[in-house]
Structure formats: C-alpha cells, structure tokens
C-alpha cells in the first residue's frame, strides 16, 4: 500500500510523549504511564502514547508540552526529546513521530486522582479514554508504540547512571531511602543502602533539610534537590529544553 505512494504525497510530523511516573500504592513501587485509547482507525481501540499532529505554529517541544497538558493537565518535572521514529511502514501514511519523554512526580499525579495501578479513566480535567498502566503490564499498543516505550525505559535505566534524573520521580523533599527506592525501581534490582548513601553524599547534589520523615521507622532526614544543578546536563540545548515544574 505504501509502496505506490510518490514523493509528492508528503510526510506528516506527529509528536508523542512517554510520560513516566513512580506509583507507590503497593509494597513495591512501579513505573506507570498514561495511555490513550484510539477512537479512530488505524488501530482503533488500541492504546497509544498521548500525542498528535505537530502544528506548524508550534515548536516540537511546545507540541510535546501541549500533549502532556491535554492528557494530564500537568507540567512534567523533566521533559526531554527521546528520538524521532521514522520507519517507512510504521503507519499506513508516512508519519515521522518525534517522541519526548517526561517524568512526573507522584505527588502531582495523585492530585489527578489517578492513584490506582489498575487501568481507569482519569478523573477531572483530563480527557476521556486516558488510563494509567503499569509499564511491565501493558495492553496491546498501536503502531510501534511498544518499541518506543521499550526504548524510553532503556534510556531511563541508562540515564540514572550518569545523571540525577531519578529525582524527577520524587516530591520536592524526600528521604535517602525513597531516592534509593526510585533507583531500584528504575534499575530493577536492589542496591546496598550503605553504598548508595555514600555515593549520593559524595556526589554532593542533595541539600539536607532540617526536617525528618517520621512514622513506623526511626526518623529519616529529608533532602531536596540542589536546584542550581539541572537533573541532567543537556549542554547547548538546555536553555530551550529546560522545563521544571
């Protein structure tokens, strides 16, 4: 079908966003993301990443931010371009999708009323046909969106090794145990608490506060990000790309 198309038929540009957050309702935190149920062909009734056509009057990043706002009503704590996907047969028409990925703090997601790990329609201002899914238990996905999500999770796992991107999953103040838990969930393995504390403290990017988390365990000091340092160094693109909530 696509073989017979000529150059003159053109190529369309879409923007999609992989929006990741950490859900903590259960004993084990999990990475979750919102998906949108398609109401049109192709792939009608399949789930897809939030996204839409690029408007000629908006930049790629503006389109990604608009998509995110339309889906969740929220601004992400970290937004970065992931990759441009442009395989010839990824869609019936020729579509290049520029995909962004974003991290949402769980506290802002909770405000949406989207706490359940079971898929459900988002409450409030969010559009219908949006549901949050556990990243390890996804429904059938439209187009190449399963591959795109795989790649986003891989990029996240890699990026925690050389940036502070895991802090995009945490509220403004957090304990070292909560930070370690975010790393463990991203990496899919346990980290030694004492080694983790040493590494984080020697990196010097956390600011200890005077507050403590109290509860069933002994009080744990709360830390916050050093906001003078970006969560990940994006070099010459930083001024355009920075979005912090």
Binding site for a copy of itself (CB under 8 A): 2-3, 5-7, 9-13, 54-60, 81, 83-84, 86-88, 94, 96, 98, 147, 150-151, 154-155, 158, 161-162, 233, 235-237, 240
Q: Within 10 A of 197 (CB to CB), how many other CB atoms are there?
A: 15
Looking at beta carbons only, is 151 or 196 nearer to a copy of itself?
Answer: 151
Query: Do 107 and 24 meet the contact criterion of CB atoms below 8 Å apart?
Result: no
Q: Which of 35, 43, 47, 44 is nearest to 72 (CA)?
A: 35
CB of 15 to a copy of itself, least distance (A): 9
Least separation, in Å, of the C-beta of 188 and a copy of itself? 14
Least gap, CB of 239 to a copy of itself (angstroms): 11
Based on CB atoms, which residue is closest to a copy of itself, 18 or 176? Answer: 18
- DSSP structure class, residue 209: E
Least distance to a copy of itself, CB of residue 3, Å:
8
Q: How far is it, in rounded angstroms, from Cα 48 to Cα 12? A: 18
Nearest partner of 163 among 203, 193, 201, judged by Cα:
203
Q: How far apart are CA 179 and CA 213, in angstroms?
A: 13
Are 96 and 11 contacting, i.e. CB atoms less than 8 angstroms apart?
yes
Residue with Cβ nearer a copy of itself (165 or 170)? 165
The residue among 173 and 241 lying less far from a copy of itself, judged by its C-beta, is 241
**Toward a copy of itself, which CB reaches closer, 12 or 120?**
12
């Amino acid at each position: 079908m696509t073989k017979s198309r000529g150059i003159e038929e053109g190529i369309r540009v879409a923007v999609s966003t992989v929006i990741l957050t950490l859900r903590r309702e259960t004993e084990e935190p999990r990475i979750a993301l919102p998906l949108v149920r398609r109401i049109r062909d192709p792939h009608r009734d399949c789930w897809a990443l939030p996204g839409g056509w690029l408007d000629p009057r908006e930049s790629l990043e503006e389109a990604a931010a608009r998509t995110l706002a339309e889906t969740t009503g929220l601004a992400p704590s970290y937004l970065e371009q992931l990759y441009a996907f442009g395989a010839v047969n990824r869609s019936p028409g020729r579509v290049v999708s520029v995909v962004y990925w974003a991290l949402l703090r769980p506290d802002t997601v909770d405000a949406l009323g989207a706490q359940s790990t079971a898929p459900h329609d988002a409450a409030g201002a969010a559009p219908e046909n949006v549901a949050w899914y556990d990243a390890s238990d996804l429904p059938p996905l439209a187009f190449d969106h399963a591959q795109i999500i795989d790649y986003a999770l891989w990029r996240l796992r890699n990026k925690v090794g050389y940036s502070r991107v895991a802090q995009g999953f945490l509220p403004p103040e957090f304990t070292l145990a909560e930070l370690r838990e975010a790393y463990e969930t991203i990496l899919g393995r346990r980290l030694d608490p004492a080694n983790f504390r040493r590494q984080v403290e020697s990196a010097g990017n956390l600011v200890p506060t005077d507050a403590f988390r109290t509860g069933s365990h002994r009080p744990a000091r709360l830390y916050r990000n050093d906001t003078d340092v970006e969560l990940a160094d994006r070099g010459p693109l930083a001024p355009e790309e920075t979005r912090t909530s």
